[in-house]
Amino acid sequence: MTKKICVLPGDGIGPEITAQAVRVLEALNLGFEMETALIGGAAVDAAGDPYPQATQKLAAEADAVLLGAVGGSKWDSLPREQRPERGLLGIRKHLNLFANLRPAVLYPELANASTLKPEIVAGLDILIVRELTGDIYFGQPRGIENRNDERFGFNTMHYSESEIRRIGRVAFEAAGKRNKKVCSVDKMNVLETMQLWRDVMNELAPEYPDVELSHMLVDNAAMQLVRAPLQFDVMVTGNMFGDILSDEASMLTGSIGMLPSASLDENNKGLYEPSHGSAPDIAGKNLANPLATILSAAMMLRYSFNLEEEAKRVENAVKNVLAQRLRTGDIFESGMTRVGTKQMGDAILAELGK
Ligand code: NAD
């Protein structure tokens, strides 16, 4: 059956980078039906809403969504409800995207971009699986109240076993397609919710006999990520710990223009987007690195369409283009050939055509 992809370019560099990812998807000749709609500031300007009805309809009907980025100073003074970022939160909630997958891969050619010594990070290939809809970020009760003549702030951490099980399954299944190791990160020594997290992960493990499960406390995980990151394959964790650890892991690679992400629902329908923002400082200048968006399209092939071979083809094309010493400004080093957004897309297409 023809797969439908909803393309949401968004703001800033969004249109330039998604255009290159769309070219890549088209070049694979898989018969995808792609339709474009507005999100973020562009949607506010055109329809007065960062996630308009027409976009909601298209996103709901599609099998997967490819998004560029949203935001820019032009919209910063609008009321919170009308800001571009609301569009992003809106689509995540609307599509029930509970699993956020963020790979942190350091290509050998870019080893110098990391702030860590090359021998610590060379060969880095971690996938962080973060639960996205629960935890202390959404738990009730929450608030700031006056109690005993002073202000009192409170939030609630909670997870049900079904919420833990469904994110655990995403991690075990992803590890099954990779190096078959899951490290579950919790804080079970202090928090009851995290004791349940660990218990449920242990209960799930026998269903995935090929995958090795280990556990790590979050404080140690934060330390191990910078001390010896090559020990990790898939890390799975809750919303708050995942928020922090996924940023830490992504910065190990040092190149924001290279980092894709996926957010999945229970049927592996997903929203695929680069981890970076709309980079207004370089928008419209053919300077943006499109590789994070192209790698997000590769994740779409893998996770929503189960097209592992095609996903690898795209990832290998990225590796080969880097080996040819082609670089956009964000990853440029002396001795390399500087190219623009479109030329980087051309080079990937040329690789795919070989
Ligand atoms: P940013 O990620 O947009 O940019 C940070 C720096 O990285 C900038 O110097 C930018 O030029 C550079 N950069 C980012 N992506 C790049 C790429 N593909 N190629 C080359 N260089 C790249 O973060 P910011 O400047 O803090 O935010 C800018 C806007 O983006 C804000 O409005 C913010 O709210 C929004 N934002 C959106 C998302 C999203 O859509 N998911 C995420 C983060 C920030």
pLDDT per position as a tens digit, 287-316: 999 999 999 999 999 999 999 999 999 999
Question: Model's pTM, two decimal places?
Answer: 0.91
- Is there a catalytic annotation at residue 312? no
- Is there a catalytic annotation at residue 210? no
Instruction: Give the tens place of pLDDT for each residue, 69-92.
Output: 999 999 999 998 889 999 998 999
278 CA from centroid of ligand 1 (Å): 4
67 CA from centroid of ligand 1 (Å): 14
The pair of structure tokens assigned to 11 is 């703001």
Alpha helices in the chain (DSSP H): 14-27, 41-47, 53-61, 84-94, 118-121, 161-176, 192-204, 218-227, 239-251, 291-303, 308-323, 341-352
Ligand 1 closest atom vs CA 68: 40
pLDDT interval class at 251 (50, 70, 90): confident
The length of the chain, given as a count of residues: 354
275 CA from centroid of ligand 1 (Å): 9
- Is there a catalytic annotation at residue 149? no
Catalytic residue among 11, 49, 186, 187: 187
* Residue 62 CB-half CA count within 13 A: 29
State yes or no: pLDDT of 283 exceeds 90.
Answer: yes
For the segment 23-33, the average pLDDT, to the nearest whole number, is: 97
Catalytic residue among 45, 76, 93, 219: 219
One DSSP character per residue, 133-159 reads: S-GGGT-SS-EEEEETTEEEEE-----
Give the pLDDT score at 255. 80
Instruction: Give the tens place of pLDDT for each residue, 141-183.
Output: 999 999 999 999 999 999 999 999 999 999 999 999 899 999 9
State yes or no: pLDDT of 1 exceeds 80.
Answer: no
- Is there a catalytic annotation at residue 243? yes
